[in-house]
């Protein structure tokens, strides 16, 4: 997605930045790890293919991606409007992983919900957001960075939901339903059943398991009504993000090699 290409998002212990070309060599190095590829259901790519993938993620209208960087977000950001300088804050030593959201049409699972989707008098059409989190550096796992990144990412999505759904709407919604308002019905995470740490992470943020283990060995954790009017980030999510949250300009002016 392009909606986040000019913004960095600060949390209490992490900074989320758009996935850019200068991140690709480090990202490619992460994905050389076979265990990490298995955990993320990823195929091995060449470096050139990784650059192509980065460009694809930037331009596609149904995937929102940030790189997670560890660090004190207010270092050098005393002024509320001070930008995050690309190539200074998001260097290989601070890059930790990524957090993504994939948008797709919502699939109802009962007759009542089916009527919501196909009723011609209905004024809304619904989509689902599937969220993925990867902490690539083993040394940084178990420090709460993934939990902080998910919470910060979710607040960004909620605060920018109208712009996100507008970009998605122009690309993915069936033409038959273009007269309807697009609503994010739920946020979900599909996690391999043996990944106890990730399952615990999402449950700690209020996600509930739906059903059992699927054909692929995954469990699905869901946060219902995430995009509905009146939804608020309460409890652990609000506490994790806290007063540290802010969105600032992502300044690329120092990245001359990548312009």
- Residues 20 and 255 sit within 8 Å (Cβ to Cβ): yes
pLDDT score recorded for residue 38? 85
From CA 218, how far away is CA 220, in angstroms rounded?
Answer: 7
Q: What is the mean pLDDT of residues 79-93?
A: 83
Q: Examine the pLDDT at 105 and tell me if it is beyond 80.
A: yes
Q: Examine the pLDDT at 79 and tell me if it is beyond 60.
A: no
pLDDT score recorded for residue 90? 93
Could you tell me if residue 164 is inside a domain? yes
Smallest Cα–Cα separation from 85: which of 187, 134, 4, 15? 15
Could you tell me if residue 2 is inside a domain? no
pLDDT score recorded for residue 173? 47
Q: Examine the pLDDT at 252 and tell me if it is beyond 50.
A: yes
Q: How far from each other are the two terminal CA atoms of the chain, in whole angstroms?
A: 19
Provide the residue range defining the domain that includes 152. Answer: 7-258
Q: What is the pLDDT of residues 165-195, one digit of tens each?
A: 989 987 544 445 455 678 888 899 999 999 9
Smallest Cα–Cα separation from 104: which of 32, 35, 187? 187
CATH number of the domain that 57 lies in?
3.40.630.30
pLDDT score recorded for residue 76? 46
Could you tell me if residue 193 is inside a domain? yes
- Using a pLDDT cut of 90, give the percent of the chain over it: 46
Structure tokens that stand for 247 in this block: 């969105």
Could you tell me if residue 1 is inside a domain? no
- Give the confidence band of 77 by pLDDT, cuts at 50, 70, 90: very low
Domain count across the chain: 1
Q: What is the mean pLDDT of residues 209-218?
A: 89
Could you tell me if residue 107 is inside a domain? yes
- To 5 degrees, how large is the angle CA 160–CA 11–CA 227? 30
What is this structure's pTM? 0.87
- Give the confidence band of 235 by pLDDT, cuts at 50, 70, 90: low
Hey, CA dihedral for 72, 33, 100, 1, is it positive or negative? positive
pLDDT score recorded for residue 116? 61
Between 124 and 162, residue with greater pLDDT: 162
Structure tokens that stand for 89 in this block: 């804050």
Residue 124: count of CB within 10 angstroms of its CB: 13
- Give the confidence band of 216 by pLDDT, cuts at 50, 70, 90: confident
- Return the SS3 of 168: helix
């Amino acid at each position: 997605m392009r909606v986040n290409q000019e913004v960095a998002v600060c949390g209490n212990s992490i900074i989320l930045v758009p996935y850019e070309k200068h991140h690709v060599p480090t990202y490619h190095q992460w994905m050389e790890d076979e265990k990490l590829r298995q955990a993320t259901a990823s195929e091995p790519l060449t470096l050139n293919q990784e650059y192509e993938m980065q460009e694809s993620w930037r331009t596609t209208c149904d995937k929102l991606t940030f790189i997670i960087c560890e660090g004190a977000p207010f270092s050098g950001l005393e002024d509320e409007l001070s930008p995050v300088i690309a190539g200074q804050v998001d260097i290989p030593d601070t890059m930790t992983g990524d957090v993504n959201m994939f948008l797709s049409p919502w699939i109802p699972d009962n007759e009542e919900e089916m009527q919501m989707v196909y009723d011609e008098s209905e004024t809304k059409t619904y989509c689902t957001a599937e969220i993925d989190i990867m902490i690539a550096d083993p040394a940084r796992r178990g420090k709460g960075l993934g939990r902080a990144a998910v919470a910060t990412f979710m607040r960004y999505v909620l605060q920018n939901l109208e712009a996100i759904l507008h970009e998605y709407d122009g690309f993915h919604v069936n033409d038959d339903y273009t007269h309807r308002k697009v609503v994010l019905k739920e946020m979900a995470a599909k996690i391999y059943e043996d990944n106890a740490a990730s399952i615990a992470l999402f449950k700690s943020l209020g996600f509930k398991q739906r059903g059992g283990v699927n054909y692929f060995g995954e469990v699905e954790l869901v946060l219902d009504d995430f995009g509905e009017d009146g939804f608020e980030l309460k409890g652990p999510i609000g506490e994790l993000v806290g007063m540290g949250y802010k969105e600032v300009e992502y300044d690329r002016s120092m990245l001359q090699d990548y312009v």
